[in-house]
Each structure stands twice: as structure tokens, then as C-alpha cells.
Amino acid sequence: MNILQILPELESGGVERGVVDLADALIKSGYKSVVVSAGGRLVKDLEATSSVHYTMPVHRKSLFSIIWCVVKLKDIIEKENIDIVHARSRVPAWIAFFATLSTKAELVTTCHGYYSRHFFSRVMGWGKRGIVISQVIGRHMMHDFGVSKEKIRLIYRGVDLNEFKFEKKETMPAKQQKVIGIIGRITPLKGHKHFIKALPGILREFPQAKALIIGDAPEHKNQYLDELKRMVDDLNLSDKVEFLGNVKDVPGILKKLDLLVLSTTTQEAFGRVVIEAGAVGVPVLATKVGGVVEIIEHEKEGLLVEPADAHAIAGAAVRVLKDKKLADECLRNLRKKVEDNFSLEVLVRKTIDVYKDVVNKKRILVIKLGALGDAILITPSLRAIRAKFPNAQIEVLIKNQFKDVLQLCPYIDDLIILRHKGFFEVMKKIMAIRHKDFNFCVDFQNNNLSHMIAFAAGIKQRFGFNNKKLGFLLNYGIKDTMKNCDPVTHQVQVLKGLGIKSNIDKKLELWLSVYDERNMQEFLKQNWYSSGQMLIGINALASPRWVSKVWMLESYARVADMLANKFNARIVFTGTKYSKGTIEEIIKRTRCRPVNAAGKTSIMQLCALIKHCAVLITVDSAPMHIAAALKVPFVALFGPTDPVRHLPFAEKFALIRKELSCSACYSPKCFRKNCMREITVEEVYEAAVNLMQPKSVDAGR
């Protein structure tokens, strides 16, 4: 994997040191490491790890600067063949978000602190995964920014135990004076004032004690640093307090301390310096804020006090410095906790696991809203997608009335049900899909609604046919160059974008439940069907729109009587509620008293009924696909539509079609209907008989 980390600067601080540590670990683990920042003192340390650094003004909030950085970052992503862009602050996250939209790289964010509830902060939840450095930050991202729990990964910050080595107290030289330290950026949030105010109380018990303030102030906080120095002078502590600024050798300075104080006054996101102190064996006194309580349990790994309470800080510090047994017990417990939970090794392993999860665990949305036959026709494609991506999360967006067809499909993980096409229902589904964070969308519906849903849901790679409607919303739209081919071959054109080869297995599939089978057997029993009697199905009508597909009513009646007489078979007419009356007209013309199942079965009960049939006579409609999927022989009557484009792969079938000058007209209504009138009863009868003969030759293609 090739990883790019992006952050504002590489000056100093826990985040910056963590970036350098992770970069070094990535290189040692055999991965490529690239870092983008505005530069700083730690760039040399970073480059010493063999990581690549690019200097860009990614710390500036200027709109023009952000746009410029987006373009440049996109070039870097493509040049370095980046798989993951890991953003660690808000401005870099905005830049990374837009840069990754049109590249293969995926965005991961780490939330290092509490962000204001402002739209600008929401980008930290827009990555494929959002890493949080403490439970409290995880709750903040979920509650304040609506980030789904599924996207969040808790990874505590880690310390390099080879660099921060533990020294047992008995091996440390005795000290004549106690040294107390505070480490961190000099800003009001870190509570330096309360630390300084606590010093007189500590000095009363330990007059020889000395305080070290390690860290520097950002440029815009220099006045605050001057204010702290004046406070030290006013308290006559100039000879007791030393401002060291930024220190390169943090482990070395920690080993000089008898006590580390963390006096933060706001919700501390984590507290890296606490685990660094614990790693080298320095007792810790901290304020009870944010993620600190996830590191320290009071009187077990250290002492906790309320924030902004100088008196409490002084009292707790004196207690630790006086009670050697308590101090030793706390530092040993803290070191053990650091080893188990907060080491650099643990951080790197968990972070790389997140990267692998994003790169390898794909989430794929297939859109097929309707109709029934079309839902069955995508089963070969679903099978091929699962074979290509065995570990992917594959879901299908489908209309409510067709969901049962794929309910038991073993190639998908879930269905997303669109109950209707109303505005609020569509928007609800768009938001649900957006939260699921899909990598790919395979749009087999290929209409304006499906294109719009995939685009609005923020799916990064959208595959489908560019049909000159809203096809421009597909960023991987292709031109349909194979219109005169079977349905599955037509779909494969889209699948090629996913790296799926064209020679896929074209067999359709359906999955029936025991419940569907039991219901159908009960239905047949109620209609005087004798067990062991041959059952022959006739699907006489297509959808109400396609009147031109219907054969002559008299012809249906005659062929039903001929087959019933030939095989002593029971004839069953299938159909929907709207076709019930027409089928009753057909049955009135018969002598064999067929079963009228129109409108009396659910979709899956219809499938179970067709499965019982020895043969199905059908026009170009969904039952033809059902028969093909269930390996039931069928006679397909084609008129206004082209069988090359609509006939499914089947093991045993017969095609009857009349070649006329007007074929295939695709006209739903036709006064002449010569293409259907010229189909004779005799040829349909003979085709059905041949399919039911034991030695008949399979007509599958």
C-alpha cells in the first residue's frame, strides 16, 4: 500500500510526532510513506525515515489556497500512486476530500480533538473511516456530527517503547531536588497558569524543587507566553521555573522529572505526554478531562484532580512526591497499561488494519429497481461480482414489489428497499446509502432516477451506460456498443469496469423457500390437482402496456386442450390480477377446465408454481425468465420484441417467432398483430411436446 498523510505543519506537538512515528513504522513494514504539510522542524526527522515530503500551504484557510492545494494534491496522489490519503486536521481534510473524489485513493481521517459544531468541521467524518484517539472523541463525532458508528475506529495514540525506555526506580540515581515538569504547547487551554499558581504550595513542602515548562507558544500566542513569564516573576519564582521551549530529546527530559503534571482545563482529546511519561517511568498528575480518564484511573496509574484548581494540583503533587510507594505503584501500572494499549506497535498495527480494511473490504451497491424479469436477469452479474470480490459487502437497491426475488440470493449481503418513488422516500434512501459508504455503484437500471441516487449518495465510482439523459452523473459511464446481444452479455459491458471478464456464466438463478413450496402445494391441492399428474403452465399475457405481445385467445384455449388430452395433464394459467378476466375468457373456450392462478400467487409462489410445470408456454415476460432460472423447459412466443436482446440463457427451450418486415417494431400496441397471428397452434403444440419427450434435443444456446 502507498499511504499519504496530510497535516497543517510539522513543527512540534503530539500529532506531528505521531505522524513521523507512523511514517517510520510504515516504511519499516514495507509500505510507501508520503507526507504533505506546510513544513517545519520535524521535516528532517521525517525524511530520515525515507518518507517523501511535499511542502504545500495546507494550513491556510484561504479558498484560493485550498483550491490550488486540491489540484496539486491530486497530482501527487497520481504521481505516487497513493491508495490511502490520511488527513489529520480540518483544512487538510477538505483538500484531501476534493482531491480524492476523482482519483482511486480513499480518504481516512483522524480526529485529534474537539471540533466546533460548524459545517467546516463535518469533513472529519466524511472519510471511508474516521479514526478517533479516544472514546470521548468517538462520542463527539457520533453525537455532534452524525458520523455512523460503523465508520469509526478507536485507535489510541502510541509511543515508541524503544525510544521511551523504562528505568526502574531502584536503578535511578538519588536526587537532591525534586523536578516537576509540564509538557505541551503554551496555550491557555493547557492550563499553565494553574500549574504556576500551584508551585508555591509545592515549594512549601519541597523548598529545593524546580519546575520545567517544556514547549513553545504558537506565533499568535506569544503574548500568552509573556504573560506566564510575568506571572512567574510576580510570584518570585524566577529561580524555580525554567522555560525550555521545544525540546528534541523528549525521553531525556522526561527522565529528569520526578513528576509530570498535565493541567489542561478543557476536554483533552487524549494526552500523549501522559503515555510518554508512563513509558519511561515518571509518575503522572493530571486533570480529570476528556480522554485522560481512559489512560489514568485515579490512584491506580496516577492521580486525577479537577481542572483549573491550583490548590488541588499542589496537594496531589505533594502527596505523590512524599509517598514513594504510591508513586512506584502508579508508574508500574501505567507502564504496563502503555505496553498493552498505547505502544507505537499497537497503533501501527491497528492503523494498517484500517488501511487494509478500506483498500480490501469493498462495499458495492447494485441498482436494479425493476421489473421482475430484470431482477432475475442480474443474477449472473451478481454471481460474477461476488466471485471477483469474495470479501466485499454487496447490496442491491430494489423496489419493494420485487425484493423477494433476491431475498435468499447467496451472492449479496443485504437489500435496500425502495418502497415508492416519492421525493421523501428517495431522499431517505439516498441518506441511508450515503451512510453505508459504498466504494462502487453498478447501475443496471440506467435511468435518470438511478443515476441521480448514486451521485447524490456520494458513491465514488459509478458504473453504468451513458444514456445521454443524466448519464453525465456516472463518472465511469460507458457507451452502449452492443445493443443487439442477450441481456447478460449486455450487462457485462458495465462489469468490465470492475475488472470482470466477459465470459461469465450466463445461467439465471432463483432461490425458493420451504414456505413458498408448501404454499404452492396447498394451492394446487385446493384446485383439484392430483399428486403425480403432469402440470403444464401457460403465461398468456405480458404487462398491461404490452398488448401487442399477446397471442390469440382462441389459440391459447386450443393448445391447452390438445396438451391436456395428449398427456392427461392439468393446465394452469398464470398471471397478475389485471389478467384474471382475460384468462377467464380463455378458460371459457376450453374443455379441459384449467386452473386460473392469475392474481392468486405472490411472486415467489408463482416461481414455485412454474417449478412444478413440465413445460411453460409463455410470451416475452417475467415468467419466461423464471422458467429459465428454475431449469423448466419453455416455449417462448416472440412478436414485437427481439429475442436476441431478451431471450435468456436456458438449458431447454423452443423459440417461435415470425420474421416479418416490421419486426421487431417494439410497439406496445398494434392493430394487425401479424407477428403473433401467424404463430399456429400446431407449431406451439409440437414445440411443447418435443420439450417434454425424454430424448428431445436441448435447444439451449
Residues 444 and 365 in one domain: yes
pLDDT digits (tens, 9 = 90+) for 398-447: 999 999 999 999 999 999 999 998 999 999 999 899 888 888 999 999 88
DSSP string, 38-68: S--TTHHHHHTTT-EEEE--TT---HHHHHH
Rounded to whole angstroms, how far apart are CA atoms 507 and 8? Answer: 54
Q: Is pLDDT above 70 for 172?
A: no
Q: Is pLDDT above 70 for 700?
A: no
Residues 174 and 267 in one domain: yes
Residues 173 and 150 in one domain: no
Residues 565 and 685 in one domain: yes
Please tell me which residue, 362 or 636, carries the higher pLDDT value: 636
Q: Is pLDDT above 60 for 332?
A: yes
The cell for 195 is 500549574
Q: What is the pTM of this model?
A: 0.71
Rounded to whole angstroms, how far apart are CA atoms 550 and 540? Answer: 6
Of 287, 288, 226, nearest to 260 by C-alpha is 287
Residues 328 and 381 in one domain: no
Residues 327 and 227 in one domain: yes
Residues 323 and 365 in one domain: no
Residues 554 and 646 in one domain: yes
Residue 565 falls within a domain, yes or no?
yes
How far is Cα of residue 45 from the mean position of the Cα atoms in its chain? 35
Residue 356 falls within a domain, yes or no?
no
Q: Which of 154, 188, 217 is the last residue of a domain?
A: 154
pLDDT score, position 112? 86
Residues 229 and 92 in one domain: no
Q: Which of 469, 498, 527 is the last residue of a domain?
A: 498
Strands 634-638 and 615-619: parallel
The cell for 391 is 470479501
Residue 159 falls within a domain, yes or no?
no
Residues 174 and 149 in one domain: no
Spatial neighbors of 342 by CB under 8 A, at least 6 apart, are 156, 157, 158, 159, 275, 278, 295
Number of domains composing the chain: 4
pLDDT score, position 8? 93
Residues 272 and 238 in one domain: yes
pLDDT digits (tens, 9 = 90+) for 234-278: 999 999 999 999 888 889 999 999 999 999 998 777 888 999 999
Q: Which of 467, 498, 529 is the last residue of a domain?
A: 498
Place of cell 482545563: 265
Residue 442 falls within a domain, yes or no?
yes
Q: Is pLDDT above 90 for 158?
A: no
CATH number at residue 203: 3.40.50.2000
At CB < 8 A and 24+ separation, what contacts does 690-693 make?
Answer: 690/654, 691/615, 691/633, 691/634, 691/635, 691/652, 691/653, 691/654, 692/534, 692/567, 692/614, 692/615, 692/633
Rounded to whole angstroms, how far apart are CA atoms 84 and 74? Answer: 12
Q: What is the mean pLDDT of the chain?
A: 90
Of 223, 236, 220, 229, nearest to 192 by C-alpha is 229
pLDDT digits (tens, 9 = 90+) for 444-488: 998 899 999 999 988 888 999 987 778 889 988 888 877 788 889
Residues 134 and 17 in one domain: yes
Residue 615 falls within a domain, yes or no?
yes
Q: Which domain holds residue 648?
A: 514-692
Residue 344 falls within a domain, yes or no?
no
User: What are 55's strand-pairing partners?
Assistant: 37
Residue 164 falls within a domain, yes or no?
no
Least confident interval from 95-104, 449-458, 464-473, 650-659: 464-473
Residue 584 falls within a domain, yes or no?
yes
